[in-house]
């Protein structure tokens, strides 16, 4: 989804730089539009660098006009391409212009030209905020459906104290998400996700591992974070780029993964075990490299730690949810159902890894969700990010039901 961020000429303009990042964190593509006054406070280069897009500033000439038709009608192109317009900070001047339909620069013309929902976050001196003109302009805007994120009270840059400080960036992001219909249904939840393979050393240069790329676990971490969760990601070795999360821990072996999981488990409301943890490991570990000629003909293996089984044994906290994965090549549903029961899971994501378009190291997956009450939900082939969201839909619903049951 694409959002235009209008920045007008107030002291709080510098905070809009961080807002770009936070909106991007929600998966939004951000295009910045600045007024002439805003450019007195922050340079367009800052926003161009952060957003990865040219910053729109002028209607005529300069960067936006320049005599070619594409840039001359850029305000209409932007107006039609965005899903929301957020102005933060919004000056008293911009609010007045919006209320009266004035369109004398790029931003105010965009306000008239777009049909996307608009959100304004005013910031100004307390007297300007309390002035009857500002009040009436805001009333007009509210009546027309513009969402207003009211400023906070506190110490203002002008030296006065009172209402007028730009609202918290989190509340502005929330208003944008709400206007876009983005879900924030996991806010307040801590979700622990494991991802990737593990490596079990044979000697100091060789190991046993599997084909897991970590993409499925990373998709869970990213999707959960976008839905407002605090995410703890424990990742085995992978070349995939991890999403930005609250806590990222990198581990190598099943033993290290177990140790990290049990260190974080008590703070987690939901645990999603998407990692492909080794089932067995070499019984003997050699220091240094085993010489080619002296190489063993037979390698003895022993079971690696079973994190899920250990988790179901240690699980004390009521209401904590555990979602497991069953990666199978044969008898997918029977094997997954057996795992669900044996490990006392709240949900199993059954994953047919024999298919070329699903499972390990591809961007798509085909899974079936199984629940302890016997329900099964088969999902068609979809991108791993979408699979993660479908699973999280079920997680959010089960959490909601558990919370309302606890209240009764
Ligand atoms: C240092 C300084 C800080 C300002 N801070 C604000 C502010 O926080 N809010 C506001 O509404 N106007 C503020 N103004 C006044 C606006 O910059 C002025 O009204 C300008 O015309 C707004 O233009 P714009 O709405 O096109 O960005 C400030 C002016 C200066 C010089």
User: Where do the domains of the chain lie?
Assistant: 2-180, 190-407
Q: How many CA atoms lie within 13 A of 388 on its CB side?
A: 25
Distance 50 CA to ligand 1 centre (A): 23
> From the CA of 37, how far away is ligand 1's center (Å)?
7
| Residue 269 pLDDT | 94
Here the tokens at position 371 are 């629940």
The whole-number average pLDDT for the span 216-231 is 93
pLDDT > 70: percent of the chain: 95
Per-residue pLDDT, 71 = 62
In sequence order, what DSSP letters do the residues of 367-401 get, joined into one string? Answer: EEEE-TTS-EEE--SEEHHHHHHHHHHHHHHHHHH
Residue entry with tokens 């919370």: 403
Work out the pLDDT band at 376, boundaries 50, 70, 90: very high
| Structure tokens, 326 | 């069953």
Spell 133-156 as b/e; 16+ CB within 10 A means b: ebeebbeebeeeebbbbebeeeeb
pLDDT of residue 281: 96
Q: Which helix (H) or strand (E) holds 48?
A: helix 44-51
- Ligand 1: does its nearest atom lie under 6 Å from the Cβ of 368? no
Nearest CA to ligand 1 atom 16: 9
Question: Which residue's CA is the closest to the ligand 1 atom numbered 10?
Answer: 91
Q: Is 111 a catalytic residue?
A: no
Is residue 279 predicted with pLDDT exceeding 90? yes
Would you tell me how many other CB atoms lie within 10 Å of the CB of residue 190? Answer: 19
pLDDT at 66: 46
* Whether the CB of 94 sits within 6 Å of ligand 1: yes
Residue 48, pLDDT > 70, answer yes
The whole-number average pLDDT for the span 235-262 is: 96
Place of tokens 């009521």: 318
Query: Which pLDDT band, with edges at 50, 70 and 90, does 154 fall under?
Result: confident
pLDDT digits (tens, 9 = 90+) for 67-111: 555 566 777 888 889 999 999 999 999 999 999 999 999 999 999
Residue nearest to atom 5 of ligand 1 (CA): 10
- Residue 233 pLDDT > 90: yes
Task: Render pLDDT for 1-19 as a digit per residue (tens, 0 to 9).
Answer: 899 999 999 999 999 999 9
pLDDT on residue 62: 57
Task: Give the model's confidence band at 218: pLDDT under 50 very low, under 70 low, under 90 confident, else very high.
Answer: very high
Decide: 197 in ligand 1 pocket, CB within 6 A: no
The protein residue with its alpha carbon nearest to ligand 1, atom 22, reads 9
pLDDT value at 65 more than 50 = no
2-180: CATH topology is Rossmann fold (3.40.50)
Q: How would residue 285 be classed by pLDDT, with cut points 50, 70 and 90?
A: confident
| Mean pLDDT value across residues 340-366 | 84
> Residue 95 CA: which ligand 1 atom is closest?
25
Secondary-structure percent of the chain, ordered helix, strand, coil, rounded to 5: 40, 25, 40
**Lowest-confidence segment of 125-139, 159-173, 272-286, 307-321 by average pLDDT:** 307-321
State the average pLDDT for the chain.
90
124 C-beta closer than 6 A to ligand 1? yes
Q: What is the reported pLDDT for 64?
A: 45
- Nearest ligand 1 atom, CA 12: 8
What per-residue confidence (pLDDT) applies to 76? 83
pTM of the model as a whole = 0.67
**pLDDT value of position 298:** 86
Res 69: pLDDT: 56
Backbone angles phi, psi at 230, to 5 degrees: -90, 120
Q: Among 55-59, 257-261, 307-311, which range has the highest average pLDDT? A: 257-261
Region 272-279: mean pLDDT is 95
Centroid of ligand 1 to alpha carbon of 218 (angstroms)? 43
* pLDDT average, residue stretch 366-385: 91
Distance CA(301)–CA(306), nearest Å, equals: 15
For residue 347, is pLDDT > 70?
Answer: yes
User: Identical fold at 2-180 and 190-407?
Assistant: yes
pLDDT-based confidence at 61, cuts 50/70/90? Answer: low
Q: Which of 213, 207, 268 is nearest to 236 (CA)?
A: 213
Bridge partner residues of 234 (DSSP): 194, 249
Q: Is residue 318 scored above 70 in pLDDT?
A: no
Query: Is the pLDDT assigned to residue 303 strictly greater than 80?
Result: yes
Q: Of all protein residues, whose CA lies closest to atom 30 belonging to ligand 1?
A: 10
Q: How far from each other are the two terminal CA atoms of the chain, in whole angstroms?
A: 39
Candidate CATH numbers 3.30.420.10, 3.30.70.20, 3.40.50.10300, 3.90.1530.30; the one for domain 190-407: 3.40.50.10300
User: Span 102-121, mean pLDDT?
Assistant: 94
pLDDT of residue 38: 97
Ligand 1 lined by 37 (C-beta under 6 Å): yes
Note the helical H segments in 85-195.
Answer: 92-100, 106-113, 126-130, 132-143, 169-180
């Amino acid at each position: 989804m694409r959002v235009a961020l209008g920045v007008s000429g107030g002291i709080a303009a510098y905070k809009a730089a961080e807002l770009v990042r936070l909106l991007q964190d929600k998966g939004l593509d951000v295009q910045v539009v600045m007024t002439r006054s805003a450019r007195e406070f922050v340079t367009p280069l800052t926003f161009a660098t952060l957003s990865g897009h040219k910053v729109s500033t002028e209607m005529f000439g300069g960067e936006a006009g320049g005599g070619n038709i594409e840039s001359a009608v850029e305000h209409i192109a932007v107006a039609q391409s965005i899903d929301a317009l957020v102005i933060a900070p919004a000056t008293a001047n911009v609010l007045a212009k919006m209320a009266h339909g004035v369109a004398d620069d790029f931003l105010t013309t965009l306000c008239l030209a777009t049909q996307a929902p608009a959100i304004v976050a005013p910031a100004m001196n307390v007297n300007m905020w309390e002035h009857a003109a500002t009040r009436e302009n805001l009333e007009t805007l509210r009546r027309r459906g513009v969402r207003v994120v009211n400023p906070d009270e506190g110490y203002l840059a002008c030296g006065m104290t009172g209402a007028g400080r730009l609202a918290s960036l989190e509340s502005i992001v929330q208003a944008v998400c709400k206007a876009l219909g983005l879900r924030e249904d996991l806010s307040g939840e801590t979700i622990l996700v494991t991802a990737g393979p593990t490596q079990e050393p044979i000697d100091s240069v060789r190991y046993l591992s599997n084909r897991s790329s970590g993409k499925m676990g990373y998709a869970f971490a990213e999707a959960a974070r976008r839905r407002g969760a605090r995410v703890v990601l424990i990742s085995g070795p992978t070349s995939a780029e991890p999403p930005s999360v609250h806590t990222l821990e990198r581990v190598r072996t099943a033993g290290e993964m177990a140790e990290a999981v049990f260190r974080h488990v008590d703070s987690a409301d939901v645990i999603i075990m998407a990692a492909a943890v080794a089932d067995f490991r070499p019984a003997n570990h050699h220091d240094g490299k085993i010489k080619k000629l002296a190489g063993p003909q037979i390698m003895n293996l022993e079971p690696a730690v079973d994190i899920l089984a250990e988790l179901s044994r240690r699980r004390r906290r009521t209401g904590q949810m555990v979602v497991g994965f069953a990666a199978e090549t044969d008898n997918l549903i029977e094997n997954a159902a057996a795992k669900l029961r044996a490990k006392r899971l709240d949900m199993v994501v059954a994953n047919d890894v024999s298919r070329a378009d699903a499972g390990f190291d591809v961007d798509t997956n085909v899974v079936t969700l199984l629940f302890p009450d016997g329900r099964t939900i088969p999902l068609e082939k979809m991108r791993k990010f979408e699979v993660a969201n479908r699973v999280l839909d079920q997680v959010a619903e089960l959490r909601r039901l558990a919370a309302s049951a606890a209240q009764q």
